[in-house]
Chains A and B, each alone.
Chain A
Amino acid sequence: MIPIDLIQSTAVSLMDKAAIEIPDDYLSGLKQAAAVEDGDLSSFVLQAMLENYKAAKEDRRAMCGDTGCPRWYVKMANEATIEGGPVALEAALRRATAQATNGVPLRPNRVHPLWRTDHDNNVGINAPEIEVAFEPDGDWIDLTTVHKGGLFGTDYRMLFPSDGIEGIKRFYLDSLVAFGKRGLSCQPAIIGIGLGGSKDTCMVLGKRAACLRTVGDRNPDSGIAKLEEEFKELGNSIGMGAMGFVGKSMVIDCHIEVGYCHTGGMQMSVHAFCLSSRRACARIHSNGTVDYRTDPQWFTPYQRRETVEWPATQPSRKSA
């Protein structure tokens, strides 16, 4: 049984880490981009960002003043049990969100869409989002918090099989160019693309592709992996860099996730996880140990399964 207090205290630490510490995979990716960037203004911006990450860690202050919309991804291994059950879990995550908002502090971004009511703690109706998934084998839970910006860089479009790869490329470029101007999407970003599913699934998959996979990770489908490489290259050949200045660093990495869709359609979403790609994770074991990391390890073979049955004996593996 995993104690609820441990879940809450771990969640508070995760909120703090996510807001302050840039994940190593993104940092290495940005350093590589900075090393080859030859646009003078874009280079200046990337250097400033590198200094900013350092300042954030040294001072323990949030790396960006817009601390985004904190959300939670919870993965429960099949044998895990939580003290108080799933309702207690949700309460603990809501408490941790409110506590960290005032503690770090974070910007209290969340308001009612119509009445603009602000609880000053990032908690309200349907906020923070808490998404839950399951994994065979194990008695742990994984907590991941993502603080993604919420205004620009994301778009959805209903495409059709006849649009083909040419249509996918067009919408990808349109999204990057439209939101890249003036740096609205806070690039260079990790771009997540959702393909297929239903309209809502497509958005969810794209967002998870951006936020829950690390720089350098490739989809296990070799055809999709090839597209990811190609799209990264394509994004960086637009001629645009940080803040929409002339340059070649738009995309630190591109991740694509797919879901089976209606036979007549090919839904597509594009998401940009910004210069402050904030994510932090921890595995809480039933024996009370907690392991912190920055790779959510969300997309396991089990999450991407396509068969009716999942052999109970097949070990779950981390995505490559």
Chain B
Amino acid sequence: MAGNAAFKKVRLKTEPSADDLRELAIGDVVYLDGTVYTAREGVYRRVIEEGEPLPLDLPAQSGANFHSSPAATINPEGTFIIRAVTATASFRFSKWIGQWLDKSGAKLILGKGGMSSADYRQHFVPHGAIYLTTVGYGTGALLGRGVSGVKSVHWRDELGLAQAMWVIRVENFGPFIVESDLDGNSLFERENAKIAAGLDKVYEGTRPAVLKRFGETDDRSDEVI
């Protein structure tokens, strides 16, 4: 695998124990074995806002929620083809994530770009959950190689292929990087802080626009998420 021996590389089950998660530090590289399912705004709306019951037994069947839509197709005879998978940006799901962790018992949220450390502290830490970010983005072909089969697809007609809940068997599925730990620390925010320290110098010789925008800020430690 890609790599740099400096990074700790871990094989993790998709229903990890609290001890397994305590071993992980932000920046560690993780590969998953077991079962993951996709759930994003379509599924969240359906379950949390419309009160639909979960179509599978969670977290017994999987503790890993992947913010993703696979590049996949369903053959006329009902078989599935998944070739590449990549995550979608997770910050957009902030308003549902607390209730989702309640209902699903998920311990691993997999996605792109992480969420804010405020979300981690408010929602992830009390549920003993962590966030794993995909790499790249996106290593769709490498992740596709880690998919060993499709167990089931739920709400395909109601939500369409992209928003449906794909339940996927995975083996050595990765790479992922640990973005948040059990204490709610964020790797992205740590990196942001380091970079922000040098930005004033980079901006030397530039000038704010003559025509302003409502709500505009010059605080470059800010984020757009």
Residues on A facing B (Cβ under 8 Å): 40-41, 43-45, 47-53, 55-56, 59, 61-67, 101-109, 111, 116, 118, 120, 151-152, 157-160, 162-164, 166-167, 169-171, 173, 177-179, 181-184, 186, 234, 237-240, 242-246, 274-276
Contact = CB atoms under 8 A, between A and B. Distances in A.
A118 B162 contact: yes
A118 B27 CA distance: 37
B56 interface: no
B135 A151 contact: no
Interface string B1-26: 11110110000000000000000000
Interface of B: 1-4, 6-7, 27, 29, 42, 68-73, 81, 83-89, 91, 112-114, 133, 135-145, 160-163, 175, 177, 188, 191-192, 194-195, 198-199, 202-203, 205-211, 220, 223-225
Nearest to A59: B141
B142 A52 contact: yes
A177 B81 CA distance: 37
Contacts of B69: 65-66, 107, 109
A242 B113 CA distance: 11
A238 B136 contact: no
Contact of A182 (B73, B114, B144): B114
Contacts of B143: 65
B140 A275 contact: no
A179 B224 contact: yes
Given A106-B71, A182-B114, A243-B133, A41 B202 contact: no
A64 B137 contact: yes
B201 to A, nearest CB: 9
Nearest to B7: A44
Contacts of A183: 112-113, 136-137
